Structure 1
Amino acid sequence: MASMHDGGSAAEHSALWLYGLPGSGVAVPQAAGAPSLEDLEQRRAEPAGLNARIWICYGSLSQGLAELVDRFQPPPQAAELGAALERWQADFSRAALLKRRWRNQVRLVNICKGGAALLAKELPPELWGGRQGLPRFGGAAPNGGPQVGSEGYRELAIRALLECRPGLLNAWLDAEHWADAIGVKPAADQGAWQEPLDWRRPMALERLVSVLWCTDGAGKAGLQELEERCAQLEEQLAQERDHVAMLNRYIKQMEKELDHFMANHERAATLAERLPLLLQRARQQLGTCSAPHP
C-alpha cells in the first residue's frame, strides 16, 4: 500500500489509516504513518483530502475482551486492566465521533457483521490476522483456568464487567449505531464471531442455572472428561505407590546387607589392630621353642 509512507499532503490523498481495536483481528492497533485516534479527535478539518481513507475496525465485546485479557501475561493487576478498559472505551467513543464528523472518509467496520470478509479481501495478510489470530474463551485455558462451562463463565464475567463499567457498553453500542453496513453476508463458519447476546438484557434464569450447575451438554462432556482424567490419575497414583513400596523393600534389604558388611568390617579392623601383638607373641613362642635345652 502506497499509503503507509511519508510524503506530505500529496501522499495523504492516497493514505489508508488503519486502526484495529481489540477483537477486530487486525494485526496492528495503528498502521505505520497514521496519526493516533486521539490526534484525529482533535482535528476539525478533513485530515487528508477527499480521497483519504480511514478504517477503524472492531469486533464483538466478547472477542474484544478475550483479546484484551490475552495481552497480559501474567494476569494484570486491577489498575492495569482498568486502564486498558478505559482506553478501549475511549477508542469506541472516538470511533463513533470520527464517523459522525467525516462520514465519507471514515469506514467503521464491525468484523462480526460481514467486515471479516471485507478485510480479508482488501487488506494484505500481514495486516489482517483473521479469525485464527484471535484468542478464544472456552476449552482448556492457557493459564489453567476451568474448562467445564467456560462459555457460561465468560458470559458471567462480561456481564459483571459491564455492570461495573456501563460506559463501555454504551460506547460499544454507539459505535454499533454508526458502523457501516458492509452488505457482506458472514460466512457460515463465522458463528463464533457473532454477538448473539443482547448485553442490555439480564441473563435468563435458565441460562444462569445451566452455567452454575453445568447442566448443558458441554458441561456434561467436560465433567465426563474430568472424571476420566481423575481415573487415569488414580491408576497412575496406585502404580507409583507400588513402585515406592518396592523401593522401600529394596532399601531395607540394602540396609541389612550394609549392616552385615559393617559387622565384618569392624571384626576385620579389630583383628588388624591386634595383629602386631599376635605376631609378637608368635615370634616369642617360636623363639622359646627353638632355643637349646640345657
Structure 2
Amino acid sequence: MLNIQNLKKEYPGFSLSIDQFHLEPNSITGIVGLNGAGKSTLFKAICGLIQINSGTIELFGQTFDELSKEQKENLGVLFNHATFSRYLNIAHCKKVLKAAYSHFDEALFDQLCKQLNLPYDKPLSSFSTGMEVRFKLATALTHEAKLLILDEPTAGLDIIARNKTYECLQDFMEKPDRSILISSHIASDLENLCDDFWVIHNGQFILHETVDALKNQYGILSVDAKTLDTLDPVAIVGIDRQPHGIKVLVSDRQFYEENYPGIVVSAGNIDDLLTILEQGGNTNL
C-alpha cells in the first residue's frame, strides 16, 4: 500500500527524517506523537501536498506524480484544515463529490451522514469542529478508496462520536485489500483499532510495535534511583526520571516480574509509553 525510503523534509527549525516505513494491505497502522512531532508533515508528504527534499514515497507501487486520476481515487484522506467552501451545505457537497469521483457511493454517503448525525441543509460554517470532522470522514469513506490517510480523525469529538468513528472504520476494513494509516494524540483510542503503531518524536520514528505486544508484553516499572542501577537493561525501552519517582518502560514485563519480585510492575498502554518516551527519552536515541 505504502512504502517510504530515506524521506527528508526540511523546515526552519524542524526536520522530518524517515529512514523506512511500509504499510501492508489489510492492516491498520497508527502514528502517535505529541503535537508538533511531525505527524501532519508526514501525511502531507505522503499525499503529495508538499515537496520533499529527498527520498521516495510510493503509493500502490508508484510515486504520487505517477498515479493516474483513477489511481488517486484509491486514496481517501482526512485533514483538519482541508474542507469544502464553508458556504456550502452537505447537499451541495454531495453533488461535487458525485462529479469528482467515478465510484462515489451516494447511498453509503447518505447512510453515513445519517449515522453520524449530520444535517443536510445547514452550511458548513455552522458546523461544530466535531461535525466537520465527521463530515470529512464520510467523504473519505464513500468513493471505494483502498487506503485511508486520516490525520487526527477524532479531534474535537466526544467519546460517543469517537466510538461511532471507529465503528465506521471497522466497517471499511471488512472488505479485503484495504488499509488505514491514522494519526492521533489520543493514543489510547487506537489500541482497540490498530494492528501496530509507530511513535514519532521530533520528526523521527523512535519506536515501532504491535498493539498485541504492547498489551501482553510491555510494562511500567516504578523504582527509585538505587533500584534503577540494579536493573538488567536488556528490555528497557525508556526511562522517565521525575522528582517523585522513576518510571521505566520495558518491553518484557514478565522478565522483571520474575527476576525483581519486589518491584511494582504495571501493564503498559500507548499513553504511558508516549509519555515516558517524550518526557524521559528513548534509551536508543
| TM-score, L = length of structure 1 | 0.20
Greater per-residue helix proportion: 1
**TM-score, length basis structure 2:** 0.21
Which of structures 1 and 2 has the larger relative contact order (alpha carbons within 8 angstroms, sep 6+)? 2
Richer in strand (by share) = 2
